[in-house]
Structure 1
Amino acid sequence: MSDILSDEARHLLLEPLLKNGWALAEGRDALVKTYKFDSFVDAFGWMTRVAMWAEKWDHHPAWRNVYKTVEVELWSHDLGGLCAQDAKLARKMDSLICQSC
């Protein structure tokens, strides 16, 4: 199991994500991002690709899909905050977005 991110790890792992459209959630230790796709099929296809990685890594996002928009929230439920796995999954989500373009 991972630990909550230290201040040093937080800066190292989160800074690139924040520059790539992720944000820190208000009032809690979580990352949030909204993805917009060309169609529902593109959004759902991306979610399916992400789901395979999330299952493989046993680290699952909280997300909401409405038509061609997917709102994502990442945090480690059992830790009550962000850990390295959250940053890893966020990076994977961003890398899979180009496959939906």
Structure 2
Amino acid sequence: MSKLSEKEIVKHLEKLPEWDYEDDAIHTEYEFNNFKDCFSAMSRIAFECEALNHHPDWSNSYNVLNISLTTHDAGGITLKDIKLALVIEGIVEEEEEE
């Protein structure tokens, strides 16, 4: 998969307003009500990552989840990152509704 241009990345991020582009990766941070809700979202995201065979750099501290996506093989952002970010957004939105 080929690396996207900065112009392409900015265009895709219009659909992902919670995400920022910096240092050849896209980043976001989510805050949940508690650790259980954060971990639940991470578990759901993990299954999707496995299905897509694309994995984030991420960390959490209590109820805050930090995610960074890049395609290491391509040396930057690809459509795999955009697709995974859209999937993650959907999961987090569902978690917030529950």
CA contact (8 A) 1:13 1:84 kept: no
In the alignment, what sits opposite 1:34? 29
Q: Which amino acid aligns with 2:12?
A: L
CA contact (8 A) 1:75 1:81 kept: yes
Count of residue correspondences = 96
The alignment's C-alpha RMSD in Å is: 1.3
- 1:98 offset after TM fit, Å? 2.1
TM-score normalised over the length of structure 1: 0.87
In the alignment, what sits opposite 1:74? 69
Aligned equivalents of 1:41 and 1:60: distance in 2? Answer: 21
In the alignment, what sits opposite 2:49? 54
Q: Report whether the alignment pairs 1:85 with 2:80.
A: yes
CA contact (8 A) 2:58 2:68 kept: yes
Percentage of identical aligned residues: 33
CA contact (8 A) 2:13 2:20 kept: no
Runs of 4+ aligned residues of structure 1 deviating over 4 Å after TM superposition are: none
CA contact (8 A) 2:71 2:78 kept: yes
**Structure 2 unaligned spans of 5+:** none
